Structure 1
Amino acid sequence: MSSSTRRRAVRAAWAVLTATSLVAVGGAQAAVALSGPTSQVAPAAVTVDAEYAKRFLEQYDKIKDPANGYFSPQGIPYHAVETLMVEAPDYGHMTTSEAYSYWIWLEALYGQATGEWQPLNEAWKNLETYMIPQKEDQPTNSFYRADAPASYASEYDHPSKYPSQIGSSGSVGRDPIAAELKQAYGTDDIYQMHWLGDVDNIYGFGAAPGPGCALGPDQEGMSLVNTFQRGPQESVWETVPHPTCDDFSFGGPNGYLDLFTGDASYAKQWKYTSASDADARAIEAVYWANKWATEQGKASQIADTVAKASKLGDYLRYTLFDKYFKQIGCTSPSCPAGTGKDSAHYLLSWYMAWGGATDTNAGWAWRISSSHAHMGYQNPFAAWALANDSKLTPKGSTAKEDWTKAAQRQLELYRWLQSADGLIAGGATNSWNGAYAQPPSGTPTFYGMAYTEAPVYVDPPSNQWFGMQAWGVQRVAELYYETGNELAGEIMKKWSAWVVDHIETDGANWSVPSELTWSGAPDTWNASNPGANSNLRVTLKSSGQDVGVAGDTARALLFYAAKSGDTEARDTAKALLDAIWENNQTALGVSSVEKRGDYKRFDDVYQSGGNGIFIPNGWSGEMPNGDAIKPGVSFLDIRSFYKQDPQWSKVETALANGTDPEFRYHRFWAQTAIAGALSDYARLFEGGTTPTPTPTPTPTVTPTPTPSPTVTPTPTPTPTVTPTPTPTPTVSPTPSPTPSPTPSPTQNPGGACTVSYTANAWNTGFTASVRVTNKGAALSGWTLKFDLPAGQSVQQGWSAKWAQSGQTVTVSNEAWNGNLGANATVDIGFNGSHNGNGNSAKPTQFTLNGAACS
């Protein structure tokens, strides 16, 4: 998902594409072999004072502050704090596997900065509880047949051509990894994150993790859902939300199934779809976490989480294969079916999906992958880590071999798609038009796959949003930084030059690229002699103030600069982060004002062959809240809950007046991207902040599965596979930042307060945790003072402004935590140094706003 209106291609198993078109280039040797880690070369020294480490911890605290609304009562990260939001997730309080992967990154960076690793373990535990379907949620995997993975169904270019007939002509190959996965883990179940969750059950399906198929609107908490199903033209505005477990309680007589697939009869069933980039991002983050924890002597603290990330990487291999396991280079639905790894393209395709009957006696289950690969989803770094890090290399007998090939193949894809200007073009497919058709004559190919300018979705085009560049290329930069790979360095040098030239860092007028315009095509790939791609060009269509895109762009530039010594890349990233920090801070994080012209589509109804929600003539049903589903409904008609949203009046006015409403959003992924960039700058250019104490971890909500009654399913015939959703890119926000003022402290009339001070020391350093409880009247600002008694000094603090003069330490609130109510507490802390003699000496007296504390 993204801050853009990008859609997730979740076509569950039924978008069974058959790929056999594409002229194979086969047999070419890899251009540059991937090697192990190398020593790092930093660019010219820059004067720093650990300011960015402090900023990272401030941003981290804002994200983790329960009062700021980033997490649900179950500890699940929302897509955004705000609820009125339509993008890939069609409601702000949905969650995505993307959000979870950013959460894993956030806690990895926090562990590096503080030495605290329990938050990372808790984040993965929450992920495993709520996003990876439990055994009860995928009850019939034991019936899966690797020699008949799924029934074929074609994809189409417009929602009006659906439902797609199941079992139409088209061969299906053999699944080559199912047996080794079962042997490695002793189960038929899939260990992948489903991509989309309705955290507050706003839709009312009640598909709760655990034995809860369709508990309905009264179910509180997480419900797994699907949206996109009907081809590349189906934007979020044209989707019909439906449950991952369809027992026909909602929708029409056949639930929602016959909106998407055509069959002689329909069976109650479950189905899930993973997003490859999110699962790979989580693995990427765990690689770094393990490296940093090992450097701190704490690898054992996260060993279980590392093992689970490795397992996730084993099952992620499904995305390296063609959708219906057809041979690569397929140009006809009847092209040869794969019998082994000849169906592997070794790219991270858009998704994998799996499903089966709810009736445990019905005897069927299915699995598919995707034939489409987008540049923004590739992760050669995660592939390299899975192939080369012994702690991450999966148990599957051929996993190391597969990820070794995938790392090289994905890096070559970036080189193949790199334009003459430096940015990376769309992607490749093994199934032209989603139906294994013959590509037009002259279409360039990559190991037999055809070039596609805008893979997976076209409303808007998937190659238009610059955020895909930031996401995809950051991983190339990490690979270059960690291994020194020459091809990665060449790609980064050219990409960075274009990006630096198109970033503005002029105070409040800062901007990053937003929308791109593409022309031409790459040369057909020749690994031993890559073409210059002189005909593949890109121009900047628009710029904007997307803080998430800015954060991940800065991260790519910083990793590249740290290895190459490119001071312009480093300084541009720093100036961009400074501009955002100085002009776009809010009480909740960082944000800019966005104009959402696309919100005029809230009330669009279907126009023949055009936009709007297509519902077939004669089809009728209901959403769980009673909203009617029938021909002629709009996005709003089947989401009437939006009319009760606190910000609905903005949209209502815009619809009446034809104006573009303005919003200020706090997306979880975007806030974490900024935090990550601040941490990267601190670590790569401020000398790092890695202590080795064992401080008290911040408590995290421990998830517990939601109990749900068991359904009594009805036997069903052939599996009905579900189609794939499509992401929708980001709208360019209009700048109008408003910095948050810092309130002045008010005197505490009663002077009553208590302070808890704990410290963990090592060598010549220590970490102190301080908890202040206000026992007097409410404060609108506060200042804590104390003396360090034995020559200790504060090196870096968080969650407050820290200063030291001699022995006296003065700590003042941040803008976001200045209000301290009666009996309220605030947790702050710092890393300090000592001379070795006073490592256990603690302050004995504290004052809060001048009044003594106990």
Structure 2
Amino acid sequence: MTRRRVALAVAAVVLVGGAPAVAAPAAVACTVTYQVTNEWNTGFGAAVSIRNDGEALNGWNLTWTFPDGQRVTQGWSGNFTQTGAVVSVTNPAWAPTLAAGGTAQVGFNGSKGSTNRPPTDFAVNGVSCTGPNQAPSVALTAPASGSSYTLPAQIPLAATAQDTDGTVAKVDFYAGDTLIATDTSAPFSGTWTSAPAGDHSITARATDNLGATKTSAPAAVKVLSGPAVLASPSTVSVKQGQTATFDVSLATAPSQPVTVTLARSGSADLTATPATLTFSGTAKQTVTVTSANNGGALGTATFTASATGYSPASVAVNEIDPSTSDFNKAFLDQYNKIKDPASGYFRKFGDLLVPYHSVETLMVEAPDHGHQTTSEAFSYYLWLEASYGRVTGDWAPFKSAFASMEKFIIPAKADQPTNDKYDPSKPATYAPEHPRMDAYPSTLDGTVPVGQDPIAAELKTAYGNSDVYGMHWLIDVDNTYGFGRCGDGTTAPAYINTYQRGSSESVWETIPQPSCDTFKHGGPNGFLDLFTKDASYAKQWKYTNAPDADARVVQVALLAQQWATAQGKAGDISSEIGKSAKMGDYLRYAMFDKYFKRVGNCNSPSSCPGATGKNSAHYLMSWYYAWGGATDTSAGWAWRIGDGASHQGYQNPLAAHALANVPALKPLSATGQQDWATSLNRQLEMLQWLQSADGGLAGGVTNSWEGQYASPPAGTPTFYGMHYDAHPVWRDPPSNRWFGFQVWGIERTAALYRLTGDARAKKILDKWVPWAIANTTTGTNFQIPADLEWSGAPDTWNATNPGANANLRVRVVNHNQDVGIAASYAKVLLNYAARSGNAVAKTTGESLLTSLLSHQDSLGIATPETRADYNRFDDVYNTSTAEGPYVPPGWTGKMPNGDQIGQGSSFLSMRSMFRNDPQWPKVQSYLDGGPAPTFTYHRFWAQAEIATAFSLHAEIYG
């Protein structure tokens, strides 16, 4: 993403002589950061930042000695002199003071020889300075997350901590916000001896010799009032006349065998076997509940597992109608597993839950750590709870999920403080994207024309403020990286970002960065100058929206509104439905070209004009929209961008239909409803245009070739003047290679067809469904398409006479058992079959769901995955292949834990916390030449997709 350039008050100062400024007596303590910003054969540019760690200075003189004969040729923001190798820089006349905790930055151009080592002897007013203090790293090694203890509890505490630029002064252990132990020397350990009964979150906080701190990821532990029996899940549904199961275990290992007895209260139609269980350890044992096949009234019972001297555990068992579909029961079973606190899908903050991307932490795909989460996960959380509301009539969990989304992943006013300074007539400054990462940082270019934002004013009028109501795509739930909130280092969850450098940047090449960059971490300019090149940089906030997630929220709101209305409970969720419509109103930013340029025939940045009105709208769901601004509320600037590249997998015609036609979801803005009506038609047109002769949907379209409004190859097909792109947005791996983007996108089209009968949607599905089924097998060892290979191109779009795309072909390269995508795919088939009556689609969809039930475990439904791509953990940048994490020459910085960032950095070297992950040894073995590691992952979105697929079948056919 690009940022609007900030014009700071920077004075360009020629080399001058003269005595240094006289400093008032003060205790000097300082930190200096020196960074080469660019370099050429005989010269270089550099920025030097001084942070005043002592008392306020009334006049300052910064000195250093060049080690390789470098000479300053031009300087700014200070008065430069050089004698031999020694450089002196005094404060400019217009800024004589440097407040305690304040920062001053000077810059210069210089000459150099063959080497250009940085100075190391910085001093201010004659007092030596240190480099920027980096926070220590810390990992909690005891207690283990998920462990249980009994009163009087003796909970062992242990942590590892390191400080790369100093020493670790102490490690404090906390239970929530309560300090429970401190150790001032390694090995850092302690014991919590006064733990009360209940659930606790344990963390370790390391403090270095200069006061910087870092907090570890939490461990959830349970303290019981005494030896205890455990049972899970706590709620079980069983069809009348059939059976169900739950697990029983002991919280702690007994010193001798313990007999657990099961007792029932409630309906005698429910019985459990075995009646007794014997335990010598903590391994789980399975209990089977049988419902009497007597046709009587549905009953409930509570089964209590107890043992002498142990606290009992209870499981509530509910009989459900024997005619209830197996899939409706499967939904409840899956829901109970996901929501069981012991499963580990959520972190609790107060009364609200935040879903992790996955239960497992060693996970790299779009997020680069399993305990991050995405706007996608929140949208699936809403879908899970909406389906629960449909089944049970209880809408409180749906409302709670919405409250969590609004609190934790939609930036609040404090997180986007300068939106009121946004000027819609100058939305952002142009910076080209590049196909290779080594072309970054990208130079901001204010001479390239940009258009006007046509919706900002009406959104402000409709909602009474200038804030953007959309989800940022990525947050660090446990603050694993340590950025915290706006540089505070401690607050969790924390807004973060990764991708920023064009189509070739894969997750393995990203450099994590905070969404609010206060220059506390990274280099002198934080992380900003990794991505854009400018004369100066300002502290700023910036967020990126993933439109498919926000559109899914609208889609779920439509379903929830229909289900609650049928129950007479629409009023229970009317507030959440209205806010979903508001989110859809702001989601229109995804309909506009990145810089609000004219849509169509944009073949150079300078000749493609900025647009007025809606001439910059392509009306499709693009890959992102983004917004940002200064952290300084007096700075007077903010920016917004859309995106000209649209992927078929991001389109959601059902959400467009809802926002255009459903009164409860009508946007409040003046033109929002009409824009979504146009978008509905345009999205369906694009899907038809991209459909191959085989049936699969090709990549997408762009208004900005290679992200820089370049001229595409001759003969490239067009869609409303925009250019066909087989793999929009990113190339590593090719973005339309994954079958998942087929089913995620087409599911929404199939749902639109089921709910409205749209003939255009049916026409697309009539070709897509047979192609997909022909490449699918069901059963325990089910196989669905995994990777796709494309050839040819679509015909140039003619709305009145669409082409047949005879030369556009797709081939299924391989297959897999991706459980989340299998569930998405089943939704496509069931939605299509329900309206069309296609028996093969119905049978295949049901068979896929049955296949999934063959892969149940205690956490959900999952299959093993071999991760050959994990060999990229230790890749460094390779100039010839342009692969690996790229850091510009001369750029150096640090992550909050002290991990170095510079040339030669790898994915792993910037994320050393992975070495402490319990699963790391098998990755290390792979890097050492062993076999590719295998993991069984429980992704939240996939588990929710499975649950809601079961619910969909019950809704349609139950």
Q: TM-score range by the shorter chain?
A: 0.7 to 0.9
Note if contact 2:2-2:430 (Cα within 8 Å) is conserved in structure 1. Answer: no
In the other structure, the counterpart of 2:919 is 647
The letter for the 2-side match of 1:53 is N
The letter for the 2-side match of 1:184 is A
2:804 corresponds, among 496, 515, 532, to: 532
1:437 corresponds, among 703, 710, 718, to: 710
Note if contact 2:695-2:771 (Cα within 8 Å) is conserved in structure 1. Answer: yes
In the other structure, the counterpart of 2:333 is 58
1:221 corresponds, among 484, 492, 496, to: 492
Aligned partners of 2:773, 2:666: CA distance in 1, in Å? 36
Note if contact 2:2-2:532 (Cα within 8 Å) is conserved in structure 1. Answer: no
Shift, 1:221, TM fit: 2.2
Note if contact 1:600-1:658 (Cα within 8 Å) is conserved in structure 2. Answer: no
Aligned partners of 2:940, 2:542: CA distance in 1, in Å? 26
In the other structure, the counterpart of 1:604 is 875
Q: 1:431 to 1:476 in 2, by over 3 A?
A: same
Q: Secondary structure at the match of 1:336?
A: coil
The letter for the 1-side match of 2:883 is N
Aligned partners of 2:731, 2:794: CA distance in 1, in Å? 20
Aligned partners of 1:57, 1:166: CA distance in 2, in Å? 53
Aligned partners of 1:454, 1:267: CA distance in 2, in Å? 34
Q: 1:99 to 1:276 in 2, by over 3 A?
A: same
Aligned partners of 2:932, 2:585: CA distance in 1, in Å? 45
Shift, 1:73, TM fit: 2.2
Q: Secondary structure at the match of 1:406?
A: helix
Shift, 1:685, TM fit: 1.1
1:415-440 per-position Cα deviation (integer Å, ceiling 9, x unaligned): 00000000100000000011001111
Shift, 1:168, TM fit: 5.1
Q: Secondary structure at the match of 2:664?
A: coil
In the other structure, the counterpart of 2:639 is 366
Aligned partners of 1:479, 1:49: CA distance in 2, in Å? 26
Aligned partners of 1:372, 1:595: CA distance in 2, in Å? 32
1:645-698 per-position Cα deviation (integer Å, ceiling 9, x unaligned): 010011001111242110000000110111111111111111xxxxxxxxxxxx
Q: Percent identity?
A: 56
In the other structure, the counterpart of 1:476 is 749
Aligned partners of 2:347, 2:531: CA distance in 1, in Å? 32
In the other structure, the counterpart of 1:457 is 730
User: What stretches of structure 1 of length at least 5 have no aligned partner?
Assistant: 1-10, 16-46, 208-212, 687-854
Q: Find out whether 1:311 has 2:582 as its counterpart.
A: yes
Aligned partners of 2:356, 2:954: CA distance in 1, in Å? 27
In the other structure, the counterpart of 1:352 is 625
Q: Secondary structure at the match of 1:73?
A: strand
In the other structure, the counterpart of 1:193 is 471
1:488 corresponds, among 761, 766, 770, to: 761
1:265 corresponds, among 520, 525, 536, to: 536
Shift, 1:12, TM fit: 5.1
Q: Find out whether 1:148 has 2:421 as its counterpart.
A: no
Shift, 1:48, TM fit: 6.8
The letter for the 1-side match of 2:611 is G
2:664 corresponds, among 378, 391, 399, to: 391
1:101 corresponds, among 374, 379, 390, to: 379
Note if contact 1:428-1:446 (Cα within 8 Å) is conserved in structure 2. Answer: yes
In the other structure, the counterpart of 1:823 is none
1:574 corresponds, among 846, 866, 871, to: 846
Q: Secondary structure at the match of 1:355?
A: strand
In the other structure, the counterpart of 2:64 is none
In the other structure, the counterpart of 1:82 is 360
Q: Find out whether 1:668 has 2:940 as its counterpart.
A: yes
Shift, 1:50, TM fit: 1.4
2:824 corresponds, among 547, 552, 572, to: 552
Count the aligned residue pairs. 636
Structure 1 vs Structure 2 CA RMSD: 1.1
1:585 corresponds, among 844, 853, 856, to: 856
Q: TM-score, normalised to structure 1's length?
A: 0.74
Note if contact 1:107-1:120 (Cα within 8 Å) is conserved in structure 2. Answer: yes
- Residues 426-435 or 439-448, more deviating: 439-448
The letter for the 1-side match of 2:531 is F
Shift, 1:277, TM fit: 0.3
Note if contact 2:795-2:804 (Cα within 8 Å) is conserved in structure 1. Answer: yes
Aligned partners of 1:512, 1:111: CA distance in 2, in Å? 31
Shift, 1:110, TM fit: 0.9
In the other structure, the counterpart of 1:543 is 815
- Equivalent residues in 2 for 1:2-41 (5 A)? 11=1, 13=3
1:272-301 per-position Cα deviation (integer Å, ceiling 9, x unaligned): 000000000011001000011001100000
In the other structure, the counterpart of 2:344 is 69
Q: Secondary structure at the match of 1:617?
A: coil
Aligned partners of 1:49, 1:92: CA distance in 2, in Å? 36
Shift, 1:14, TM fit: 6.6
Q: Find out whether 1:278 has 2:549 as its counterpart.
A: yes
The letter for the 1-side match of 2:590 is T
In the other structure, the counterpart of 1:339 is 612
Larger radius of gyration: 2
Q: Secondary structure at the match of 1:556?
A: helix
In the other structure, the counterpart of 1:419 is 692
Shift, 1:500, TM fit: 1.0
The letter for the 1-side match of 2:569 is K
* Over 4 Å off, 4+ runs: 12-15
Q: Secondary structure at the match of 2:381?
A: helix
The letter for the 2-side match of 1:123 is A
The letter for the 1-side match of 2:579 is K
Aligned partners of 2:429, 2:914: CA distance in 1, in Å? 37
Shift, 1:108, TM fit: 1.1
Q: Find out whether 1:248 has 2:487 as its counterpart.
A: no
Aligned partners of 1:85, 1:344: CA distance in 2, in Å? 37
Note if contact 2:449-2:609 (Cα within 8 Å) is conserved in structure 1. Answer: yes
In the other structure, the counterpart of 1:157 is 435
Q: Find out whether 1:118 has 2:396 as its counterpart.
A: yes
- Equivalent residues in 2 for 1:639-718 (5 A)? 639-686=911-958
Aligned partners of 1:167, 1:624: CA distance in 2, in Å? 32
Shift, 1:577, TM fit: 1.0
Q: Secondary structure at the match of 2:787?
A: strand
Note if contact 2:2-2:431 (Cα within 8 Å) is conserved in structure 1. Answer: no
The letter for the 1-side match of 2:366 is A
Note if contact 2:785-2:812 (Cα within 8 Å) is conserved in structure 1. Answer: yes
Note if contact 1:12-1:352 (Cα within 8 Å) is conserved in structure 2. Answer: no
The letter for the 2-side match of 1:565 is G
User: What stretches of structure 2 of length at least 5 have no aligned partner?
Assistant: 6-321
Larger helix fraction of residues: 1
Q: Secondary structure at the match of 1:538?
A: strand
Q: Secondary structure at the match of 2:786?
A: strand
The letter for the 1-side match of 2:791 is S
In the other structure, the counterpart of 2:266 is none
1:203 corresponds, among 461, 473, 481, to: 481
Shift, 1:511, TM fit: 1.2
Note if contact 1:12-1:271 (Cα within 8 Å) is conserved in structure 2. Answer: no
In the other structure, the counterpart of 1:298 is 569
Q: Secondary structure at the match of 1:437?
A: coil
The letter for the 2-side match of 1:607 is N
1:592-627 per-position Cα deviation (integer Å, ceiling 9, x unaligned): 000000000000111004211111111101000000
Shift, 1:311, TM fit: 0.4
Larger strand fraction of residues: 2
1:799-819 per-position Cα deviation (integer Å, ceiling 9, x unaligned): xxxxxxxxxxxxxxxxxxxxx
In the other structure, the counterpart of 1:710 is none
In the other structure, the counterpart of 2:558 is 287
Aligned partners of 1:128, 1:266: CA distance in 2, in Å? 30
In the other structure, the counterpart of 2:215 is none
Q: Find out whether 1:170 has 2:448 as its counterpart.
A: yes
The letter for the 1-side match of 2:523 is G
Q: Find out whether 1:92 has 2:349 as its counterpart.
A: no
2:778 corresponds, among 499, 505, 529, to: 505
